[in-house]
Every structure is written in C-alpha cells, then in structure tokens.
C-alpha cells in the first residue's frame, strides 16, 4: 500500500510540475537550470561561435557547452548531451541547441530534434534549436540575423522569443535587401521569455511601424472536401463566420478535386492582382484528407502538394510585403501519438483530473537562419517566401483529428480568435496549440487515447494583429 501511495504522489508531483512549467498566464516558468549547447563543424569561424555564446549569456543560460564535430557526428553528440541532462536527476528549465554547419549539410535536422525530445528532464519544457548555415569561404563575421538577435535580446528581455524573432526577421530582411528571410517552426504551448527580467511583468509595446498595415482589403479562400469527412461542414461554417467577423471577403469552394485546388489558388491570386484597391492580407484554409507524405487529397482522391499551393500565392504581386496565412486541416501521415510523460495507471488520470501526457512533438522551437547573411539556409526562405504563416493541424507524419462536431484544430482556433481578436496572431496560435495539446482523442479506429500537436511555421517580419 505504501508503494502505491508513494507512486501516486510521485505521479501527482510530476503532473503538477508539468503544469507549472507553463507558469501563469500561459508562460513557461523556466524553473530549473538553463542549458545551452553549440555544435559546430570545423569550418565554422570562431567569431560566429563567440556571438552565440554572448547570446546565451544574455538570455541567462548558466551552462554553455561547445562541441566541435563533423555534421555526421552531431547526432551522437546530441545523444550524449541528452544523457547528461537526464543524469541531473531533476527537471531542466530550458535547453537551447545551436547547430552551425556549412550550407546544405544539415539535411535531416528532425532526427536531431527528436533525439532531444526523448529527454525525460525536458518533458514539458521548451527546447529551442537554432539551425545556422554558414557559406564556405564567406566572411567570418556574423550577419544580420545573429547581430540583431544579440542586440535585441539585451534590449528587450521582457519580450517573448517569438516576438523577438519577428523583429529580428524584419531587420534581417532589410539588411539583406529583401533577398533572404529566416523561418521558424514552433510547437510551443506558451510564451517563452528567456531574458533575466521577471517574466510576469508587462511587456513593452512595440512601435506602431512594427505591425503589418491591414487597412486594405482582406481576402480569404476556403477550400474544403466535405464528402467523406464527417464534421467538415461545421469547420467550414465556423471558419466562415470568423472570417466575416475579421472583415475578410471570403470565397468558399467545397469538394474540389486535386486539380481544382491548384486552379482555385491561381484564380484567387489573379483576382487579388487585378484588385484596384490595395490588398493587405490573405487567408487560405485547406481542409481535406491527407496522404502519407503530407499531401492533400482532392475529392477525386488525387494528390496535390500544399507547398505548391503556398508557392502559387507567393507569386501574388498585390501581396508583396503583406501577410499570407495558410491553415491546413489534414493528416500528415498515419502516426498516432500516445504522448510522453510519467507512466500512471488509468485511475490516476481520473483521480488527478488531468492528462499525465503531452504530445511528443510539443514544446519545440526551431529557427532556420543564415549565420553570415550570404546565402539562405536550404529550408529557410528566399524573399518570395517571406511574410508567410502556415499552421498545420498535426505534426509531421501524424494524424489530424476530426469527428462529427468538427476538427479539434479549426474549432479551437475559432474559439480562441473570437475571444481575443486584437491579440497578436502568433500568440493566439500558441494558445490554440496549448488547448489542442491538452485534449485526448479516442477515435473509432484507435482504442487507446492519443494526443495531437500543431506545427506553426512563420516567416512573418512584423507583428500581425487582425483587429485593432
């Protein structure tokens, strides 16, 4: 009996600690040590590593390690780092890993991300990856991204990391003469403030010029396969109502074929280019079944790549420098995530009234940038990929859940955006992800409870607020 009581209290303590990791007001509390690791290939200049170490110190990281290795050795070094953290015997507040290598050599960074996500000491805690490319033979001095990040971290310690990165992205694009823009991928469930300042204090308001001007026309295109997707009509109705409330002129097309997906995007782009008044924002929702490699399936069962649809709208002249939002409600594979966390008996869950698990893909922020401003990182964006916000209903390779009442993603998004439409969009989407991550799904073809997690990709260069 004493063993069972002790086990119950241990699980309760772990769950309480995971809850506290998000702190008050949806912010990570950062309790526990902050650890940083720089993995760099031998070709990387010492000046770049020095700037990184300065950024780490500014952000309050007590432990900053550096290991030099070939790119092929990064995985082994990261596994050793994970084992080191687990050996600490307690939770870690935050981990920041900088991966610096010549352009094109970091071809499968997700393996590295998954390795650190297995760390028990980081369960429910933020894991930040800074993936920096360096061009062989380029000047050894850091470029606009690193210098801007170093400066802003010191000037605005109250700002969340996503807010800081948006400002850095803006400066990077300006200094590179709009030829390159970094990209971030986030599954964070709360605001992440890394500065030494008290994270619960008020955040300083950014200057008005740091926001997108949304005074022009707003246009939305909703493409949804209804047939064979129970609840899809509820998503269309809810999203249509939200778009109307946010002053978007909305076009709806249901049951498009794969070819029609492409044709509708092309026609949407042409209409915006022909619009006489200025256009300030576009929103495209793509809702369909998904293929095993993240494809969208049209009503005819044929495939279309969502990247091709994003690229189509990127060519829109009327939207140059304006935000382009893509919402993708579709499966990205067949994996069903059981989540990670302390193992407990089913009755523990009912007694504690909380799920003891979080999605295994949650709490990760990846930043893809160029260390020297000379050539874009392979998965970062060129200038025509700037100002794009893409939100996936599921992590890469995972199932997106939906039932007769609609999808978890769309229904939660509409609820959050309607409650506080004037809030910055990245902050709203982080809250959407937090709520989706709390849900447990018990589907008709899945007897065990499963978790879901959003993926937010952004190359936005200003704060985006859909309502003044």
Task: Give the pLDDT confidence of 287-325 residue by residue, as tens digits.
Answer: 999 998 899 999 999 999 999 999 999 999 999 999 999
- Could you give the residue numbers annotated as active site? 289, 331
Query: What was the pLDDT predicted at 142?
Result: 76
Query: What was the pLDDT predicted at 425?
Result: 97
Tokens of 264: 């509708």
64: enclosing H helix or E strand: strand 63-68
Residues 6+ apart with CB under 8 A from 59: 34, 96, 153, 194, 195
Query: What was the pLDDT predicted at 203?
Result: 53
Structural contact between residues 175 and 191, judged by C-beta atoms closer than 8 angstroms: no
Alpha helices in 189-333 (DSSP H): 232-245, 258-274, 306-314
Tokens of 55: 């950024």
Q: What is the pLDDT along the chain (468 residues), one digit of tens a residue?
A: 443 444 444 444 444 444 445 655 578 988 889 999 999 999 888 888 888 988 888 888 888 899 999 999 999 999 999 999 999 888 899 999 999 998 888 888 999 999 999 999 999 999 999 999 876 655 566 778 888 888 888 888 778 899 889 988 888 877 766 567 899 999 999 999 887 555 444 555 555 558 999 999 999 999 999 999 999 999 999 999 999 999 999 999 999 999 999 999 999 999 999 999 999 999 999 999 999 889 999 999 999 999 999 999 999 999 999 999 999 999 999 999 988 876 444 554 544 445 568 899 999 999 999 876 544 433 444 446 889 999 999 999 999 999 999 999 999 999 999 999 999 999 999 999 999 999 988 766 667 788 999 999 999 999 999 987
> At which residue do the structure tokens 């699980």 appear?
11
Strand partners, 64: 36
Pairing state of beta strands 217-224 and 249-254? parallel
Query: CA–CA distance from 417 to each of 80, 239, 309, 324 (Å)?
Result: 42, 10, 24, 17
Query: Going from the N-terminus, what domains does the chain have, and what CATH number goes with each?
Result: 2-186 (3.40.50.1460), 213-338+385-458 (3.40.50.1460)
Task: Give the pLDDT confidence of 412-434 residue by residue, as tens digits.
Answer: 999 999 999 999 999 999 999 99
Q: How far is residue 140's CA from residue 143's CA, in Å, rounded to a whole number?
A: 9
Tokens of 200: 């619960």
Q: What is the pTM of this model?
A: 0.89
Query: What was the pLDDT predicted at 207?
Result: 53
Residues 6+ apart with CB under 8 A from 65: 35, 36, 37, 38, 81
Query: CA–CA distance from 395 to each of 255, 331, 334, 391, 435 (Å)?
Result: 24, 9, 11, 10, 15
């Amino acid at each position: 009996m004493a063993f069972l009581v002790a086990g119950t209290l241990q699980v309760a303590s772990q769950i309480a600690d995971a809850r506290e990791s998000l702190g008050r007001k949806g912010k990570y509390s950062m309790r526990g040590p902050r650890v940083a690791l720089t993995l760099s290939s031998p070709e990387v200049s010492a000046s770049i590593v020095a700037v990184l170490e300065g950024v780490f110190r500014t952000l309050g990281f007590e432990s900053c390690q550096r290991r030099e290795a070939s790119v092929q050795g990064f995985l082994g070094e990261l596994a050793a780092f994970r084992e080191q953290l687990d050996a600490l015997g307690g939770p870690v507040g935050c981990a920041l890993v900088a991966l610096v290598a010549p352009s094109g050599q970091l071809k499968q960074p997700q393996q590295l991300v998954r390795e650190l996500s297995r760390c028990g000491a980081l369960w429910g805690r933020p894991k930040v990856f800074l993936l920096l490319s360096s061009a062989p033979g380029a000047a050894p001095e850091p470029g606009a991204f690193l210098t801007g990040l170093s400066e802003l971290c010191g000037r605005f310690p109250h700002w969340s990391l996503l807010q800081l990165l948006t400002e850095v992205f803006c400066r990077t694009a300006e200094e590179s003469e709009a030829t390159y823009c970094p990209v971030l991928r986030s599954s964070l469930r709360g605001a992440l403030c890394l500065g030494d300042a008290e994270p619960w204090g008020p955040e300083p308001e950014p200057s008005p010029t740091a926001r997108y001007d949304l005074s022009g026309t707003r246009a939305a295109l909703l493409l949804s396969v209804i047939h064979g997707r129970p609840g899809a009509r509820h998503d269309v109705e809810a999203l249509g109502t939200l778009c109307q409330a946010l002053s978007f002129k909305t076009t709806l097309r249901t049951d498009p074929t794969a070819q029609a997906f492409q044709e509708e995007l092309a026609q949407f782009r042409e209409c915006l280019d022909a619009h006489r008044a200025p256009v300030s924002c576009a929103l495209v929702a793509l809702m369909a079944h998904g293929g095993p490699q993240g494809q969208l399936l049209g009503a005819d069962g044929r495939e279309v790549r969502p990247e091709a649809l994003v690229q189509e709208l990127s060519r829109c002249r009327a939207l140059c420098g304006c935000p382009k939002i893509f919402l993708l409600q579709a499966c990205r594979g067949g994996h069903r995530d059981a989540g990670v966390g302390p193992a407990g008996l089913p009755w523990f869950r009912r007694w504690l009234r909380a799920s003891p698990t979080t999605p295994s893909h949650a709490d990760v922020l990846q930043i893809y940038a160029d260390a020297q401003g000379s050539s874009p990182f392979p998965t970062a964006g060129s200038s025509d990929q700037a100002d794009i916000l893409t939100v996936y209903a599921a992590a890469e390779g995972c199932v997106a859940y939906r039932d007769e009442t609609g999808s978890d993603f769309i229904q939660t998004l509409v609820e959050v955006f309607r409650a506080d439409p004037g809030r910055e969009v990245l902050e709203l989407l982080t809250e959407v992800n937090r709520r989706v991550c709390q849900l447990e799904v018990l589907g008709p073809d899945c007897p065990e409870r499963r978790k879901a997690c959003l993926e937010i990709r952004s190359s936005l260069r200003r704060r985006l607020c859909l309502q003044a």
